[in-house]
Amino acid sequence: MQENLSIVRVAVVQAAPVIMDRDATVDKTIRLTHEAGEKGAKIVIFPEAFIPAYPRGLSFGSKIGSRTKEGRQDWFRYWDNSIEVPSQSTELLGEAARKAGVYLVIGVIERDQETSGGTLYCTVLFFSPEGKLLGKHRKLKPTAAERVVWGEGDGSTLPVFDTPYGKIGALICWENYMPLARAAMYAKGIQLYIAPTADARESWQSTIRHIAMEGRCFVLSCNQYVTKNMYPVDLACYDELESSPDIMSSGGSAIVGPLGEYVVEPIYGKEDILIADLDLRDIAYSQLDFDPVGHYSRPDVFTLIVDEEKKENVKWK
């Protein structure tokens, strides 16, 4: 176990990807990571599905009982710009983390390379300041129409990493409404709770403030700022965006302390880098009257079982 440093500077990057362009978005990520590192950040966080995009407004031509040729074309473009883990793209991201001297936490669309290669996952990747890929978390339950394009992760990718700046881990967007998933993260001792999201609504702010108080942890929520004119006009199903607002995602990234108060209030309407110095001693300060997995727990009454075994379709003997 590493000795914790009491104060850490973090950076939450609210930005848009170069939509449907993996390589250009990796380049943008590298630039913004260096910029955050130059501001003194030791942990740098990017939004959900940052590379190559959160496909807001698109259905990929899918309706119940039917798909379209045009939808398959856009799906293939999305698949083709997703990231294999590991790959040259992850090597570039790791090198960016190394050069900036930061822990880099970023949402990507991961292309399965363990079996058929035909499934995409909404994934968070964790890189160390040495440039090493520490691990990943795959979203356990894509929400609503997300299930058309993303597969489900399993319990084998629920990591919490011990760093000199506290224990870090992530749940993605509406996974954070799963009380048992949160309980699992608390039980792992999470201190810097990272919540990449695509939700810019006011209700999301209530969510992250609740989690901070419930978990007695810092919550770092990171969203994209995206406008409709950022989408490539040559999408085969571009007409699906006709009814979408000009601002597709207004942001709302924020940082919350362990008593539910904003360290950095939500930012809307622009790309920005939120910088904050977090004092881990505030966590112990907050735990006088509540610790969800300590003195306020009742293991004699409630027990959570978490299956962290990787699930396979076929078991070979």
DSSP assignment of 186-225 equals HHTT-SEEEEE-S--SHHHHHHHHHHHHHHTSEEEEE--E
pLDDT score for 122? 98
pLDDT score for 2? 52
pLDDT grade for 315, boundaries at 50, 70 and 90: confident
The secondary structure element, H or E, covering residue 184 is: helix 179-187
Catalytic residue, from 110, 122, 136, 173: name it: 173
pLDDT in tens, 190-226: 999 999 999 999 999 999 999 999 999 999 999 999 9
> Beta strand pairing status for 166-170 and 103-111?
unpaired
Average pLDDT value for residue range 126-142: 98
The pTM score is 0.96
Average pLDDT value for residue range 171-188: 98
Edge to edge, the sheet with strand 133-138 lists: 133-138, 120-127, 103-111, 43-45, 7-14, 272-279
Measured torsion, CA atoms of residues 20, 21, 27, 29, in degrees rounded to the nearest 10: 10
Instruction: Determine whether 139 is an active site residue.
Output: yes
pLDDT in tens, 37-88: 999 999 999 999 999 999 999 999 999 999 999 999 999 999 999 999 999 9
CATH of 7-286, one of 1.10.760.10, 3.40.50.970, 3.60.110.10, 3.40.50.300: 3.60.110.10
CA separation for the pair 10, 223 (Å, rounded): 15
Instruction: Determine whether 222 is an active site residue.
Output: no
Instruction: Determine whether 217 is an active site residue.
Output: no
Catalytic residue, from 28, 42, 48, 167: name it: 48
Q: What angle do CA 182, 298, 167 make, to 5 degrees?
A: 40
Query: What is the residue whose two structure tokens read 């942001």?
Result: 251
Catalytic residue, from 28, 42, 136, 139: name it: 139
